[in-house]
Amino acid sequence: MDIVIIGSGNVATVIGRKSQAAGHRIIQVYSPNGAHANTLASRLSTNSTAYISTVEKTADLMIIALRDEAIAAFIQNLGVTKSILTHTAGSIPINILSAASDRFGALYPLQSLRKEIERIPALTVLVDGNREGTKTQIREFAATIAETVIPADDLTRLKYHLAGTIVNNFTNQLFATAEVFCKNENISFAVLQPLMEETVMRLRKTDPSQAQTGPALRNDQITIQKHRELLKGYPGMIKFYDLFTAEIQRFATGDTL
């Protein structure tokens, strides 16, 4: 396929690289930041533009990998195209693209992506289209860049987006919180790395509810109070600690809602 990439950030870069590696031709990169467009275009050995008026509108596929809040304005200024239009957002309905094409859909990578990474992780891509033929074309393209392709309408993608936010962004915030504590208390955050890795790897074979351990699960009030004493100078962290302690204990009773 001949592809136009709209955007120059993490998702645009990774999908551009994966598409090129799969044998597709990237014919243009657009970004409102000309320098960023040039950087990605150079990496993909193609042309760039910083002007919506010069975006190529006859490519087989246009992949819009902009911030969620920028998609509507881009479509409004794009005009009608002959391309299949797709966006990469998990929380945006596909009909937002309808003003610019009669063939449109979603290519949502359910993965945390960084443009700097050399080894791209396995991709799961959720796909949708406004008609069966378009769905098929988007699904077939997705199969060339992703290890797993899952059909998902607007509501299903939003559910996965929420679940992904919890398991990725929320857990990362807990890691960041622990890092601050370690730095302030002069202990090594790096020492926790094997523990974090084991916690995730264990979930390949065990349900999270069955993998839980620790003082909250045991209702070890002596240890819980010792932890809370250490957190007296960290009002934000103690809120986390109390909330998650209560949630772990609630789950242990079988109350998961």
Question: What's the CATH class of domain 158-252?
Answer: mainly alpha
Q: Is 188 left (phi over 0), alpha (psi -120 to 50) or beta?
A: beta
Position of tokens 């990725």?
168
Bridge partners (DSSP) of residue 2 are 25
pLDDT at 254: 83
pLDDT at 114: 87
pLDDT at 119: 84
Q: Do domains 2-152 and 158-252 have the same CATH topology?
A: no
Query: Cα–Cα distance between 135 and 127 in angstroms, integer?
Result: 7
Spell out the domain ranges in the chain: 2-152, 158-252
pLDDT at 256: 76
Query: Cα–Cα distance between 136 and 127 in angstroms, integer?
Result: 9
Instruction: List Cβ neighbours of 103 (8 Å cut-off, separation of 6 or more).
Output: 83, 84, 85, 129, 130, 131, 133, 134, 137
pLDDT at 179: 97
Low-confidence residues of the chain: pLDDT under 70: none
Bridge partners (DSSP) of residue 124 are 148
pLDDT at 15: 96
Position of tokens 């797709």?
86
Query: Cα–Cα distance between 6 and 37 in angstroms, integer?
Result: 9
DSSP state of 122: P
CATH code 3.40.50.720 for 2-152: yes
Contact at 8 Å (CB) between 106 and 127? yes
Please give the structure tokens belonging to residue 159.
Answer: 């559910």
